[in-house]
Amino acid sequence: MQDYVEVTGMVLKAVPVLETDKKITILTREQGKIIAYARGAKKAGSRFMAPTEPFSYGKFQLHAGKSYHVVGVHIEQYFEKLRDDFEGAFYGMYFADVADYYGRENNDEQEMLKLLYVSLMALQKDSIPNELVQYIFEMKVLAVNGEFPGKLQGHVLSDAASYAISHVQTAAMDKLYTFTVSESVLRELAGECEVYRQKYIGKKFKSLEILENCRLKI
């Protein structure tokens, strides 16, 4: 008798395997971060080609043997706008890399999954700058993992910047991206987040390096 499981999650990354298959990393609601294989997903016309691309969010039916194999998918959100937005796609890849870095197998990753979802949704909106989305995401990642220090000791910030940091620390996921800030406050948050990345995240992401180089050229 074969064992099957259904999980709700988002594809963080996809890696080619052999000539026609893919190995995908999925952040799931039920089982944390898992690795699954999709046979034939690289073939033209495969029903698994699009659903196994990064940012694909929905339900995945998996055969659970020695490893997981995708046998069915129902994608609820592809985040199509990001796929057509060069800059937005790089932000999304960075967020996915961070979620991959923090995600653990058989761990409760519901809040991380929610954060990733609402952050990608925010990247698709014109009402909030992508750079602000990044800083909110980085602060909330630390909050989700119980590492966020809030306003850094000894740093002098404007009331608006202090309020933004406090809001991100305590806000529900669906209330995160409900504000914008002035350019001067954005620069204050940029400085704070640079310290957060160095002191608390402590990993250099290639996707962030590419993103920062991309921003310099804009």
Report the percent of the chain where pLDDT is more than 70. Answer: 98
Q: What is the pLDDT, as a whole number, of residue 66?
A: 85
Work out the mean pLDDT of the chain and round it to a whole number.
Answer: 94
Backbone phi, then psi, for 125, in 5-degree steps?
-95, 145
DSSP 4: E
Same domain, 209 and 108: yes
Residue 217: pLDDT band with limits 50, 70, 90: low
41/96 same-domain check: no
> Could you read off the pLDDT of 21-46 as tens digits, one per residue?
999 999 999 999 999 999 999 998 89
Decide if pLDDT at 218 tops 70: no
- Percent share of the chain, pLDDT over 90: 84
Q: Are residues 45 and 125 in the same domain?
A: no
- Residues 6 or more apart from 110 whose CB is under 8 A from it? 29
Domain edge (last residue) among 38, 58, 77: 77
Q: CA angle, 98 as apex, 95 and 100 as ends, to 5°?
A: 110
**pLDDT (average), residues 199-211:** 92
Residues 156, 60 share a domain? no
Indicate the angle between helix axes 110-123 and 130-144, nearest 10 degrees.
170
Q: Is the pLDDT of residue 1 over 50?
A: no
Classified as helix, coil or strand, 18 is coil
**Residue 111 and residue 65 share a domain:** no
The answer on 107 and 126 residing in a single domain is yes
Question: What CATH number did the domain enclosing 171 receive?
Answer: 1.20.1440
Look up the domain containing 29 and give its range. 4-77
Same domain as 97, residue 13: no
Model's pTM, two decimal places?
0.94
Residue-wise pLDDT tens digits, 121-148: 999 999 999 999 999 999 999 999 999 9
- How many separate domains does the chain show? 2
Which residues have a Cβ under 8 Å from the Cβ of 33 and sit 6 or more positions away? 12, 25, 26, 27, 100, 103, 104, 105, 107, 109
Confidence check: pLDDT of 108 > 60 = yes
Q: What is the mean pLDDT of residues 48-68?
A: 95
Measured between its terminal Cα atoms, the distance across the chain in Å is: 56
**Burial of residue 103, with CB atoms counted within 10 A of its CB: 0-12 exposed, 13-18 middle, 19 or more buried:** buried
Task: Please state, in angstroms and rounded to a whole number, the distance separating the CA atoms of residues 24 and 16.
Answer: 9
**pLDDT over 80 (residue 2):** no
In this prediction, residue 214 carries a pLDDT of 77
Asked if 33 and 105 touch (Cβ cutoff 8 Å), the reply is: yes
If you count them, how many residues does the chain have? 218
Look at residue 112 and tell me whether its pLDDT is greater than 50.
yes
Sorted by sequence, the CB contacts under 8 Å of residue 204 that are 6+ apart come out as: none
Cα 172 from Cα 94, distance rounded (Å): 22
**CB contact at 8 A, 28 and 8:** yes
- Residue-wise pLDDT for 63-85, tens only, equals 988 899 999 999 999 999 998 88
